Structure 1
Amino acid sequence: MSTNYVYTLVLDFLIALGVVVGGALVGALAAILTNRPPLHLMVDLAERLKIWALVSALGGTFGTIRALESGLFGGQLGVVARQSTIVLSAFLGAHLGYLLITYLARGSLK
């Protein structure tokens, strides 16, 4: 594995994690400032931000989709596997962020 590939995996994971956790915490601050219950809003925001965390971690462009397409139709399965693991890494970061916020707000992962 190249160090650039590992760097991309870790970076996308942490960007997606940060978008979900940061967005939910800042949203909870907005709820506090407007006298609304913050914990329910945190969980709701974390769930809604998961897809946007994935998009932002991947750069917000169609580069990953194009790479998947060209790899799939060009017969380059290594490119498909590499891009798929990058997408999976970003998804796992977003989902971990959601689980952390859920645990923080509810005290359990149920």
Structure 2
Amino acid sequence: MNRFFTQATLDFFVAFGVVLGASMLAGMASLFLWQSPQTTMLDIAARIKIWAVVVAIGGSIDPIRVIEWNVSEGYLSPAIMQIAYILFAFLGAHLAGELIQWMCRSAG
């Protein structure tokens, strides 16, 4: 169970970092382009969430194959763990998006 929590925590923070980092860097880039950093950051945060989840769970279709194979073989525990990893990654990406929204609202 320790490995599960370790991997779930890593997935959460990787997805969180991808959304937060991409949004912040896009906001900085928008300053060089004389565009609104708030608009750019909000747009990037919304568009990059799915990619943050993909990056966090391994960047490929393998986790989905693990789920499919385990369910078809009748092993539900590994499939549930993979789904939980995806949910933790989604939670990290979503919370980072909410943080970006909060920062842009309070700055504006």
TM-score calculated relative to the size of structure 2: 0.95
1:99 alignment partner in structure 2: 98
Q: Kindly provide the amino acid, as one letter, of the partner of residue 81 in structure 1.
A: I
Count residues in correspondence. 106
Question: Going by fraction, where is helix more abundant, 1 or 2?
Answer: 2
1:43 alignment partner in structure 2: 42
Helix, strand or coil at the partner of 1:61: coil
How far has the Cα of 1:72 moved from its partner? Answer: 1.0
Q: Which runs of 5+ in 1 are unaligned?
A: none
How far has the Cα of 1:33 moved from its partner? Answer: 1.1
Instruction: Provide the rounded CA distance (Å) in 2 between the counterparts of 1:82 and 1:55.
Output: 16
Cα RMSD, aligned residues only: 0.8
Instruction: Provide the rounded CA distance (Å) in 1 between the counterparts of 2:30 and 2:19.
Output: 16
TM-score calculated relative to the size of structure 1: 0.93
Paired-residue identity, %: 38
1:71 alignment partner in structure 2: 70
How far has the Cα of 1:53 moved from its partner? Answer: 0.2
1:24 aligns with 2:23: yes
Q: Kindly provide the amino acid, as one letter, of the partner of residue 7 in structure 2.
A: T
1:22-41 deviation digits (Å, cap 9, x = unpaired):
00000000001111110011
Instruction: Provide the rounded CA distance (Å) in 2 between the counterparts of 1:34 and 1:40.
Output: 13
Instruction: Provide the rounded CA distance (Å) in 1 between the counterparts of 2:50 and 2:14.
Output: 12
How far has the Cα of 1:61 moved from its partner? Answer: 1.5
1:13-72 deviation digits (Å, cap 9, x = unpaired):
000000000000000000011111100110110000101100100111122111100111
